[in-house]
Amino acid sequence: MSGDCDFGLIGLAVMGENLALNVESRGYKVAVYNRTTSKVDDLMEGRAKGKNFVGTHTIEEFVKSVKRPRKLMMLVKAGPAVDALIEQLLPHCEPGDIIIDGGNEYYLHTERRVKEVEAAGLLYVGCGVSGGEEGALKGPSLMPGGSAEAWPHIKEMFQSIAAKVGPNDDIPCCEWLGAGGAGNYVKMVHNGIEYGDMQLICEAYQLLHELGGLTNDELYDVFEAWNAGELQSYLIEITRDIFSVKDEQGDGHLVDKILDVAGAKGTGKWMSQLALDLGVPSTLVTTAVFARGLSAQKEARVRASETLNGPSAASNPEMQAIAKSLVGDRAEFVEAVRQALYASKIVSYAQGFVQLQAASAEHGWGLDYGAAALLWRGGCIIRAQFLDRIKEAFDKDANLENLLLDEYFEKAVENAQEKWRKVVAVASIMGIPVPAFSTALCYYDGYRMARLPANLLQAQRDYFGAHTYQRTDQDGTFHTEWIQLRKEPKA
C-alpha cells in the first residue's frame, strides 16, 4: 500500500523542517516524521498549517504515505541514528524505494550503507546539504552521490529546491557527483575549504586591526569594498556585516566582546585526517583546524602571554621602518592584505580539488570537478564569485592537475605574489601569527620547485634505517653504507 505523497522527510530539527517546507513550496506533497512525535504535531499546527503536508506518528505510517518509488530523506544527527532509522525503514519499504541521508555523514558510512541498502533491493543516496537553516528553506547547495539509479528519480525535485545561479538564476546548485560516498566527501571538502576561508579572513582581520590600526567601522568599509571585487563571497559579506553590529548589552561592537575560543564540529578534522591518509598536502584546512585548536587553549595562552616575548618590533623604529618599507602606507597595506588573502584562497581551493581527485581515484567515483565547483557557487557557506572561474578551468580541462596551473589562476597568483610575500614577511617581523597565509605561500613555493631538499631526507632515512633511495642519474634502488664512507668525526 502506498499513499499520495511525493516525498517523505524524517527529522524535524532546523534543517529537516526547513527543507520539508522548501520541497512543499515547489508543488510537492510531503510526508513528515520525527522520533519525538510532538514535533510533527507542532509543525502541522504551525508552519505547515494549510499546506500540502501529511504528519505521521510511526515509521510504518510514514513509509506507507509516500508514492512508489518512495523518496525518503533523513535529516537527523549523523552516525548511529542513521543506521537505526535505516533498520526501521527497511521492513516497510519496497524494491526500488530510495533512502536519502542529508546529514553531515562520514563518507565511509555512506559507502557501507549504499551496499547494505542495495543488497536489500533499494537505492541509497548520501546527499551533502549546505546553506544552514536559511539555505534549507530557500535553496541549499545539494551534493548527492550513491546509487546512480536513484538520480533520475530525484533529479527534478532536488534541482527544483536547490539554490540557483547563473545570469538568469536558472542553473541549480545540485548535480549528481558519483558513486558511494562521493556526495558526502564533496560536502566534507566544502566544509574543510570553509575552515580555510574563515581562518584566512581572521588573519586578514588581525593584520588590519593590530598592524594597520583599522577600527571596526573602517573594517566594515574594507570588507564592503572587497566584496565588490574578486573576493566577493558570502563569508566576506557576513564578515562585513559583523563589523557593523553593536553590543546590545554595553558599549562598542559585539565582535570585540566575543571570547576568542573557536568551536568545531569535526568535518575539517575529517578532511585533514583523510588528506594524511591519501598523502596529499591539504595544508590550509589542517592549519585552520590547528588554529582553532590553539584558540581553544585560551587559559594556557593567557599564561604564556605573561612570559613569552615576541619581537620588539612594535616599539622598535628600525623594525617598523622595515615593515613600512615592505607594505607602504595604510591603503597600500590594506591592498597587500587583500592580495595575500586572494592568493591564499586560490591555493586553498587548489588543495581541496587535489584531495577530491585523489579520493575519486582511490574509490573510482569518477567525480565531476566542474560540477562540484558549480554546486558551491550558490546556496552554501563558501559560495563565491570565483567558483565560476574554477568551473571554467575544469570545463576547459576535466583532468586539470592543479588549479594553480590554469591560466587564470596562474596569473592571479603571479600578480598577487609580491604583496603576499611582503605581508607574510611583515607579519613575521611584527610577531603576528598568519599560519594560513604562510602555509599557502609555502605550498605555492614547494609546488613550483622542481627540486626540493628531499634528497637529503632520503639520505638520512637510508643512513639510519637502510630505507634505500633512488638516483637522479640511474634507474634502480640504492643503499649506501654511509658510516663506512663518511668523513671520520673529529671527537
12 binds ligand NBP (CB under 6 A): yes
Q: Of 11 and 196, which CB lies nearer to ligand NBP in the complex structure?
A: 11
Residue 316 C-beta: closest distance to ligand NBP, Å: 46
Strand partners, 469: 478
SS3 state at 178? strand
How many residues touch ligand NBP (CB under 6 A)? Answer: 24
The reply, when asked if residue 316 is annotated as ligand binding, is: no
Q: Which residues are CB-neighbours of 357 under 8 A, at least 6 positions away?
A: 367, 369
* Helix, strand, coil shares, percent, the chain, to 5: 60, 10, 35
Rounded Cα–Cα distance for residues 345 and 351 (Å): 10
Residue 425 C-beta: closest distance to ligand NBP, Å: 38
Q: Tell me which DSSP letter residue 211 carries.
A: I
Select the residue whose beta carbon is closest to ligand NBP and give its number.
103
- Region binding ligand NBP by CB under 6 A among candidate stretches 70-78, 145-153, 200-208, 473-481: 70-78
Residue of 354, 306, 336, 352 lying closest to 434 (CA atoms): 336
Q: Of 39 and 383, which CB lies nearer to ligand NBP in the complex structure?
A: 39
- Region binding ligand NBP by CB under 6 A among candidate stretches 73-81, 216-224, 384-392, 460-468: 73-81
Rounded Cα–Cα distance for residues 10 and 101 (Å): 10
Of 187, 391, 419, 422, catalytic: 187
- 178 Ramachandran zone, left/alpha/beta (phi>0; psi -120 to 50): left
46 binds ligand NBP (CB under 6 A): no
The reply, when asked if residue 157 is annotated as ligand binding, is: no
- Pairing verdict, β 71-74 and 30-33: unpaired
Rounded Cα–Cα distance for residues 421 and 415 (Å): 12
- Region binding ligand NBP by CB under 6 A among candidate stretches 76-84, 110-118, 225-233, 410-418: 76-84
Residue 85 C-beta: closest distance to ligand NBP, Å: 5
Q: Tally Cβ neighbours within 10 Å of residue 209.
A: 18
Rounded Cα–Cα distance for residues 292 and 199 (Å): 9
Asked if 418 is an active-site residue, the reply is no
Whether 236 and 205 have beta carbons less than 8 Å apart is answered as no
* Binding residue (CB under 6 A) for ligand NBP from 68, 84, 305, 418: 84
Tell me the one-letter amino acid at 292.
Answer: R
Q: Of 184 and 216, which CB lies nearer to ligand NBP in the complex structure?
A: 184
Q: Tell me which DSSP letter residue 151 carries.
A: H
Of 17, 105, 111, 194, catalytic: 194
* Binding residue (CB under 6 A) for ligand NBP from 39, 109, 345, 421: 39
The reply, when asked if residue 449 is annotated as ligand binding, is: no
Residue with cell 558570502: 234
* Binding residue (CB under 6 A) for ligand NBP from 26, 47, 81, 388: 81
268 binds ligand NBP (CB under 6 A): no
Q: Of 19 and 403, which CB lies nearer to ligand NBP in the complex structure?
A: 19
123-142 footprint of ligand NBP as x/- string (CB under 6 A): ------xx-xx---------
15 binds ligand NBP (CB under 6 A): yes
* Binding residue (CB under 6 A) for ligand NBP from 3, 8, 16, 55: 16
Tell me the one-letter amino acid at 364.
Answer: G
* Binding residue (CB under 6 A) for ligand NBP from 20, 31, 76, 275: 76
Whether 311 and 319 have beta carbons less than 8 Å apart is answered as yes
What's the half-sphere exposure (Cβ side, CA atoms, 13 Å) at 215? 6
Give the number of residues written for the chain: 491
The reply, when asked if residue 461 is annotated as ligand binding, is: yes
Query: Over the Cα atoms of the chain, what is R_g?
Result: 26
Rounded Cα–Cα distance for residues 458 and 468 (Å): 8
94-123 footprint of ligand NBP as x/- string (CB under 6 A): --------xxx-------------------
- Pairing verdict, β 123-130 and 98-101: parallel
Q: Of 62 and 205, which CB lies nearer to ligand NBP in the complex structure?
A: 62
- Region binding ligand NBP by CB under 6 A among candidate stretches 6-14, 48-56, 224-232, 283-291: 6-14
44 binds ligand NBP (CB under 6 A): no
- Pairing verdict, β 123-130 and 141-146: antiparallel
Tell whether the torsion through CA atoms of 415, 417, 418 and 422 is positive or negative. positive
Question: Before 69, cis peptide (omega within 30)?
Answer: yes
The grid coordinates listed for 201 are 579572513
* Binding residue (CB under 6 A) for ligand NBP from 2, 13, 295, 461: 13
Tell me the one-letter amino acid at 222.
Answer: V
Asked if 187 is an active-site residue, the reply is yes
* Binding residue (CB under 6 A) for ligand NBP from 36, 315, 474, 477: 36
The reply, when asked if residue 13 is annotated as ligand binding, is: yes
Q: How far is CA 259 from CA 247, 255, 396, in A?
A: 14, 9, 45
* Binding residue (CB under 6 A) for ligand NBP from 5, 6, 7, 11: 11
Q: Which residues are annotated as a binding site for substrate?
A: 104, 130-132, 190-191, 195, 265, 292, 461, 467
Site residues, ligand NBP (CB under 6 A):
11-16, 34-36, 39, 75-78, 81, 84-85, 102-104, 129-130, 132-133
Q: Which residues are annotated as a binding site for NADP(+)?
A: 11-16, 34-36, 76-78, 104
Q: Which residues are annotated as a binding site?
A: 11-16, 34-36, 76-78, 104, 130-132, 190-191, 195, 265, 292, 461, 467
Give the residue numbers marked as catalytic.
187, 194
